[in-house]
Amino acid sequence: MMNELTMLQRVVVWVLPVIFAITVHEVAHGWVAKKRGDKTAWMLGRLTLNPIKHIDPIGTILVPGLLLITGTGFIFGWAKPVPVNMRNLKNPIPDMALVAAAGPLSNLMMAVAWALFGRMGGILNIDAAIQPMMYMSFAGITINLVLALINLLPIPPLDGSRILTALLPKRWAWYYSRVEQYGFFILLFLLMSGVLSSILGSPLYALQKLFFSLAGLQ
């Protein structure tokens, strides 16, 4: 769908969906943490949709930009992690799993919102608005589904690893957590080798088909 756009047009279409997908993802972590007893993110002013508070120059700008320009496949990124102090949580281990799950769940909710945004473009039937809204709906759905799926992978420190840690016996969880220092390199290898596309390709395609249908995208 994006092939007919120039590179500049593609950047314009993707910039807002990417920034909001990453920002809301982090805010969701902080919001649930606050509900479960940890106000660290709130006290640091991180429970805001102001992207400036969350932007990581590499993860929010450089990496998504390079992936978009080079057409590597999956477009993803990250923001500055919202700080969470487990000791402040009411039930640290299960609550940390809830905090982690909030990120991918927020991305799924945003994918729904972008689908409805695209559907609205079709209902309004205003020539000047239809195509921009459809393109942005496509980008919003895609980036949020990708972020949800990638973050559910059980690779520390991704959200999926936090959820899995809560399910493992304490000793196993401790050994598992030690993989975190290599997590970024593992994810980078999976991306560059094409393994990530193989793992996530089918579920992403199925979810895109569902959400694009909701948006009225052909």
User: Which residues are known to be catalytic?
Assistant: 26
User: Which amino acid, one-letter code, is at 141?
Assistant: I
